[in-house]
Structures are given as structure tokens and as C-alpha cells.
Amino acid sequence: MTVALHPRDQTIRSVLESGARKHPDRAFALFPETGYRSTWAEMAFAAQSTAARLTALGLAPGEAVGVLAPNSKTTLELFLGSMFGGFIVTIFNPLSGQAQLNYVVDHSEVRVLFVSEDYLELGRSAVEACSRVITLIHNDPPDWPVEASKQARHEPCPDDAALLIYTSGTTGLPKGVLHSHASLLAGGANTANAHQLTVDDRALCVLSLCHINGQVVTVMAPLVSGSSVVMPSRFSASQFWNWVADYGCTWFSAVPTILSYLVQGDELDSSPGKRFSRLRFGRSASAPLPPALLESFVTRFQIPIVETMGITETAAQILSNPLDPARQQVGSTGIPWGNAVRIANDSGVVLDTGQEGEIQVQGPNVMLGYFKNEAVTRESFTSDNWYRTGDLGWMNEDGYFFVTGRRKEFIIKGGENISPREIDDVLYSHPAVLEAAAVAVPDSNYGQEIAACVVAKPGASVTIDELQAFCAVRLGAYKSPAMIRFLQQLPKGPSGKIQRLQLVEHFTQAKQTSTSS
């Protein structure tokens, strides 16, 4: 039986220490590439040791620790150990580009940066470009320049800042989101309660720890539920099902892009002996899940997929469909878990059922604010303290929410608001399309016109004319893409979420002529 979790008076340190006392020999984290298994007692000891070494480096409680490394035992220990000692941890995204990395390393005020061998050049360049002195330490394992102190002396409080995580910065400079121990644990509890996690569950973490989904959904949720996580360095379609079977995973969190790769792959077919008797469900997050992709995945693998919604500022999950497939509503991101969600207009008026407006959130999982940006923090909350997500959607009579798109990504053609997701879903339903994303491009007649970038399935053949005709039948000519461009891949953030605004540059020239993939 699942017990509702409410760790409101706890910290990362107190929850980890409590688990280590209650079940010291239970597995907490397993690492497939190395075969290492870390128990709760071992992870608590590693976190204590990490915090003590950071103290010995001269860091004071509340100062920032930076990490530039893939998922690994050391990265997880730095992530938990920094917060354990009352420091603020920030794991940087190596895929953000050198210029953006330079900015966030400088803006974060980190005093020490742990860098893996793969990202050493990136890290060195960021440190050299910084306006202050930063100690760079080689990672995996850390080449500590000092001996550890005897203990991590500082005991953090629930409301202390624990995590600094940067948004993708697709519409400007990245914003630093500050989370407390309390908000991170609340986010983990929301996930654990929605998915009825117990001590017997085991998550598969294939998303980077530089993303809120990896940090909260697949680390904090096991932490608050007393369970465990399997953590490879990165997603691999060829190894995914082996990890699930070999480590007895009961659930996984992914993004639609990963689900699409799995549906198209033949890795499972080449291993017919694999059995997944313990696998209860998968969850989809970070981007809308096209109904056609959901149907394809469930039909092929007979594994339930739970669609959810979460954002960085709310410590991941705010909405989730129930686990029971009979209660799920396809196309919906579900119902609230552990926080309140409402739909309101620009004036702050709460809208009735079925009316489209902004999705707003209030609860213990909401961020402290944006680091060194009080003005934007104020603008992001309503006068009655609801966080404005910037996502548009509506709620039906059953209390299920439906996301129609990002306010900044909406296409306004001839004064009509058109949701990119509506076009995406149609393109995804075409048998030759692997990925798709619609965007707005400037147009002299309509103000904005509809364009789309498409990745074709391997071996598939389809033309632009064919896709446009396919869309016209299902959307009508007005909502169909006037321009389509085939790409080898779509730009994505660390979670796998498609970065739409980066696609606009592909349409800066005149309308393209029809070509085939």
C-alpha cells in the first residue's frame, strides 16, 4: 500500500540520512556502465564526504558548486552531497554552446567547477572567460586538491536554496531558477504520489541530471519513496530494454523523442528472451505527447504510458494522468498532484471550464525565484501569488487539463491564434514522419505564416507536396504549413524537448521549392 508523502519539514540531508538509518543495505543507485551499486548507507556516506571536502575547499553554506559532467556515480554524489552540506548545486548543460555556458558559469557565481574529461575544454574556456577566480577540478573521480574536513558541519533548513538550474534561454539569456530543499522534495513527492511509488520500485533515469526531470522525477522521487534508481550516463536506444530487464526497472521517465526512437528501433526484436515483468509504466514529460506516438508505443510494447506536465520552475511535475489506463484521457496532461492549477486570462480572472487561458500553479513545489532577477520574478507571479507558466491550455468538466501551446510559440496568422501542437499532431500521424515541429515565420500578407520542420523515418520516402496535402485534408488549407523543410534532426534541449524558436532560421529565405526526403 502506498502512503502519501509530504516531506515538508525535511531537507535533502535529513531524508537521505533517515533512509540510510532505516534501510542501510537497500540499493539506492545502480550504474550500468560500471556495474557499481550504491546502497542508501553508501550514498549517505558519500554525500557526507563530498560536503566535508567542499567545506575544506573554503566554501561557505549557501555558496554555489558547479558541475559539468554526464550522469555518473560521481555526478550524483556531487549533486546530493552539495545540497547535503548546505551548498547550492548547479549542473550545467554541455550542449548549450560555449557562449551560453560562459554566461551561466559567470552568472551562477560558482566558486568551484567539477568537469569530466569529455567536457574539459568547454569547462576551461568557461573558467577563463569568467570575471572571477573559479577552481576547476577534474571529475570522475574528483581530483580533490585538499583533504576532507572531519564532517559537514552545516545543517541546512528546508527553505534554504539548494539548486540553481538554468532555463534553455531560447528567447534570450538563460534564467537561473532557484529551488529550496522543500520545493525539490515536494516535487519528488508529487511524482511519487501520482505514480504510487513504493520501496519496491526502481526508476530508469535516461535524462540528464542537468535537467529538472532527471533531478527531481528520477532522483527526488526515489529519495522520498525510499526506492532506487538505475542511472546510465545517457540514453541509448540499443541498451534501453537491456537496462529495464537486467536491473528490474519498474518505471521510466522519458520525452516523446525518446519514445519515438524506441518505437522505430528493432533492439527489442533482436532480444526476444527479454522479459519485463516488473515494468509497471513509463511516463512522458517535458513536451506534448502526440496521440499517434502514444498509440504506436502502447500497441507495440503493451506498456502503459502516463502523460504528465512539469516545468523547471515547479520542480517538474504539476499534472499527471492517473496510472489506471481506464481513467487516463488521451491528449490531456492530467490532473494536479500536490499543487493547485488553474486557468486564467491576462487580467488574472479565473476562466470557466472549456475556456483557453494561461496555466497557473500554486504549491510547495514552486521555485524561490529567479537568481539575481527580482524584476522577472515579480512579473512571473500574479498578485495573489500564482506562478504564471506561460503555457496556454484549458480544463474539461472532469478536471483534466489540456495544453494547447506556449504563449510565445503560438502562430498568429491573420489575427487568428493557431497552436503549433495541432499541426504537430497531424504531421506525427503520417506514417513516414519521425519528428515534426511547426513554427511561425514572418509573412507580408498574414503577419505570420505556418512553417514546419520534419524528420522522416529511416528508409521512408515522402515529399513536401504529399505532406502539405495530408495536412490540408485534416486541418484545412488555412492551418496547413505553407513551408516544410526536411532536416536530419531537430534541435533539442537537454531533456529532448524540441527547441522551436531555433527552427525559424531555416525559413529566412524565400519559400522553398518542393523536394523529397
Q: Could you tell me if 203 and 252 are in contact, meaning their C-beta atoms sit under 8 angstroms apart? A: yes
Q: Is the pLDDT of residue 238 over 70?
A: yes
Q: Pick the more confident residue, 7 or 283.
A: 283
- Half-sphere exposure of residue 48: CA atoms within 13 angstroms, side-chain side: 14
Question: Would residue 60 count as lying in a domain?
Answer: yes
Q: Is the pLDDT of residue 223 over 70?
A: yes
pLDDT one-digit tens code per residue, 47-70: 999 999 999 999 999 999 999 999
Q: Is the pLDDT of residue 431 over 90?
A: yes
Question: Would residue 151 count as lying in a domain?
Answer: yes
Q: Is the pLDDT of residue 335 over 90?
A: yes
C-alpha cell at 284: 512522458
pLDDT, mean of residues 256-266: 87
State which residues form the domain around 464. 410-507
The mean predicted confidence, pLDDT, of the chain is 90
Alpha-carbon span 461 to 61, nearest angstrom? 58
Q: Could you tell me if 491 and 502 are in contact, meaning their C-beta atoms sit under 8 angstroms apart? A: yes
Per-residue pLDDT at 39: 98
From 132, 152, 174, give the residue that closes a domain: 174
Q: Is the pLDDT of residue 288 over 90?
A: no
Q: Is the pLDDT of residue 345 over 50?
A: yes
Q: Could you tell me if 426 and 472 are in contact, meaning their C-beta atoms sit under 8 angstroms apart? A: no
Longest dimension (CA), the chain: 70
pLDDT one-digit tens code per residue, 372-405: 999 999 999 999 999 999 899 999 999 999 998 7
Evaluate the omega torsion of the peptide bond into residue 141 and state whether it is cis, within 30 degrees of 0.
Answer: yes
Q: Could you tell me if 144 and 121 are in contact, meaning their C-beta atoms sit under 8 angstroms apart? A: no
Q: Which of 263, 283, 198 is nearest to 5 (CA)?
A: 198
Query: What CATH code is carried by the domain that includes residue 497?
Result: 3.30.300.30
What CA dihedral angle connects 306, 312, 315 and 318, to 10 degrees? -40
Total domains in the fold of the chain? 2
Give the H or E element holding residue 440: strand 433-443
Of the candidate ranges 1-15, 150-164, 247-261, 394-408, the one whose mean pLDDT is the lowest: 1-15
Sequence-separated (6 or more) residues with CB below 8 Å from residue 112:
54, 57, 59, 65, 66, 134, 135, 136, 137
Per-residue pLDDT at 152: 60
Could you please report the per-residue DSSP string of 264-321?
A: H--TTTT-TT---TT--EEEE-SS---HHHHHHHHHHH---EEEEEEEGGGTEEEEE-
Sequence-separated (6 or more) residues with CB below 8 Å from residue 240:
204, 206, 262, 267
Sequence-separated (6 or more) residues with CB below 8 Å from residue 296:
263
Q: Is the pLDDT of residue 90 over 90?
A: yes
From 146, 174, 202, give the residue that closes a domain: 174
Question: Would residue 17 count as lying in a domain?
Answer: yes
Per-residue pLDDT at 370: 97
Question: Would residue 255 count as lying in a domain?
Answer: no
Per-residue pLDDT at 138: 92
Q: Which of 487, 472, 408 is nearest to 440 (CA)?
A: 408
Q: Is the pLDDT of residue 510 over 90?
A: no
Question: Would residue 414 count as lying in a domain?
Answer: yes
Highest mean pLDDT among 195-209, 264-278, 465-479: 195-209
Question: Would residue 214 count as lying in a domain?
Answer: no
Q: Is the pLDDT of residue 487 over 90?
A: yes
pLDDT, mean of residues 357-373: 97
pLDDT one-digit tens code per residue, 439-466: 988 887 777 899 999 999 988 999 999 9
What b-and-e string marks burial along 190-213, b requiring 16 or more CB atoms within 10 Å of the CB?
Answer: bbbbbbbbeeebbbbbbbbbbbbb
Q: Is the pLDDT of residue 158 over 90?
A: yes
Per-residue pLDDT at 10: 94
From 119, 148, 174, give the residue that closes a domain: 174
Question: Would residue 224 count as lying in a domain?
Answer: no
Question: Would residue 357 count as lying in a domain?
Answer: no
